[in-house]
Amino acid sequence: MVKKLPSQQEQVDLLDNLLHTMVLAIVEHTDQVAFDSKVIMSQYYVGVRVAQSDMGLILGREGETADSIRRVLWGACKKTELKIEVVFSTAGGESVSINRQRRDR
């Protein structure tokens, strides 16, 4: 029996819920977090805007927290047909993309 994949909207909802949960658990100013997303073909683009003072919390030391968020989302994408790109920014316009190339092992 072949297992049917969820619809694309259900896949997006899964990734949204996961990202929202992780980001809101990390930042101190949850009221200043905004998410913007779009799907183009099988690529899912997400913008996360946080308070300036929370940017360091999201990035972590040497980008470790951002990298961990990316890895969890990539793991979740294995259950979907989507690829994901996440960009963190502040209200001031500073932005950081955490979409690094996956290494094939």
Domain of 67, CATH number, reads 3.30.300.20
State both tokens at 68: 């961990």
Number of domains composing the chain: 1
The rounded percent of the chain whose pLDDT value lies above 70 is 85
| Residue 101 banded pLDDT, cuts 50, 70, 90 | very low
pLDDT at 97: 57
Range of the domain at 12: 8-97
Query: Does residue 90 register a pLDDT over 90?
Result: no
Query: Does residue 99 register a pLDDT over 80?
Result: no
Could you tell me if residue 66 is inside a domain? yes
Sheet order of strands, 83-90 included = 34-40, 43-50, 83-90, 95-97
Average pLDDT, the chain: 84
Could you tell me if residue 105 is inside a domain? no
pTM: 0.80
Q: What is the mean pLDDT of residues 1-29?
A: 87
